[in-house]
Structure formats: structure tokens, C-alpha cells
Amino acid sequence: MTEGVLVTIITAGQAIILALIGLLGVRLGKVKRDVSAARWQVENTHDTNMREENDSRHAETKRWIDDLSDNFTDQIKTLAKDFGGMRAEIRGDREAHRALADRVTHLERKKDS
């Protein structure tokens, strides 16, 4: 190869390397901005660690849900007892109705005979 071709290849190689370094710099700049933005969002003005704060909020929410669940469970048990009582009353009314219908049928047959 001639000296001119080698100089051109070296110059082109340098240009490519400089372009890659420039792109890398731009990417690192974006990454740095993204990291800074994320850091600001996380740190913001919190006095406490966000993880600890979230854990305590989750625990509080779980307590609320457990309290609601216990309350609803108690109400459902009460309603189940009430429904059981109503079913027993209806069952008694049906038996009384059947006994009365049987008595009427018996008296009608007796009258016809």
C-alpha cells in the first residue's frame, strides 16, 4: 500500500473512533440526566426512606382491609343466623299449612260420606 492510502485509512479510522466517542458521550449524558431525574423523583423532599414509608403504608392498608374483612365476616354470620331462623319459621308455617289442609280435606270427606 502506498503512504497516501495508509494515511487515508488512519484518518478515516480516527474519524470513526471520534464519532463513536462522541455518540458514547451523548449516551452517557442522557443516562446521567435520566439518573438525575430518577434520583430527584426518589429523593425529592422525603424526610424518610421511601421503602420504609411504603412498607408502613402497606401495613396500614392491610390493617384496614383486615378490619373490613372481620366486620363483613361478622355481619355475614349474623345474616346467616337470621336466614336460618327465617327458614325455620317458613318450614313451620308450611307444616302448619299442610296439617290444616289435611284437616280440611278430612272434614270435607267426612261431610260427603
pLDDT per residue over 3-46, tens digit each? 888 888 888 888 888 788 777 776 767 767 777 777 777 666 66
List phi, psi (to 5°) of 79. Answer: -65, -40
DSSP 17-53: HHHHHHHHHHHHHHHHHHHHHHHHHHHTT-SS-HHHH
pTM: 0.37
Q: Return mean pLDDT, the chain.
A: 83
Considering only the C-alpha atoms of the chain, give the largest distance between any 2 of them, rounded to a whole number of Å.
140
DSSP letter assigned to residue 83: H
Cell of 68: 373490613
Q: Is 21 exposed, middle or buried (0-12, 13-18, 19+ CB in 10 A)?
A: exposed
Mean of the pLDDT values across residues 63-91? 89
